[in-house]
Amino acid sequence: MHELGVTFHIMDQLEKVAQENDVERVRKVVLELGEVSTVIESYLQNCWTWAAKKRPLFEKAELIVETLPAVTYCEDCGKTYPTVEHGKTCPFCGSGQTYLLHGNEFNIKEIEVQ
């Protein structure tokens, strides 16, 4: 389960920012999670809940996850389509000459502090 490592990485980064800005408590963290990022939101939420109890800065911090849709671009016909629904094969022309435009992101979007 790499979600625990991801959780620790997020918290480590936020602890640095909090220290630089004299923040004593984080109330909420908003993450953008791409639909095909390989991070499972429910596992991430469970890891966050467990880890937040162990770090005073995040003791009561809420984790909000916003899912970003995965979109693929077809080089042959120039159209975009939903990746999860159609995979690598373009539903418009049947081409496999496609690439992911977005949907694998993992970003800290917003932090609310006390």
**Can you list the domains of the chain with their CATH numbers?**
3-11+24-113 (3.30.2320.80)
pTM (two decimals): 0.85
Encode pLDDT of 48-74 as tens digits: 999 999 999 999 999 999 999 999 999
At 81, list the tokens: 């389509």
Q: pLDDT at position 1, please? A: 55
The tokens 């992101």 sit on which residue?
Answer: 105
Q: Is 47 annotated as a binding residue?
A: no
Backbone angles phi, psi at 53, to 5 degrees: -70, -20
Between vectors from CA 107 to CA 61 and to CA 47, what angle results, nearest 5°? Answer: 45
Q: Is 77 annotated as a binding residue?
A: yes
Q: Are 30 and 113 in contact (CB under 8 A)?
A: no
Q: Which DSSP letter does residue 21 get? A: T
Q: Is 2 annotated as a binding residue?
A: yes
- Average pLDDT per run of 10 along the chain, which is 114 residues long? 90 96 96 95 96 96 97 98 97 97 95 93
Q: pLDDT at position 108, please? A: 96
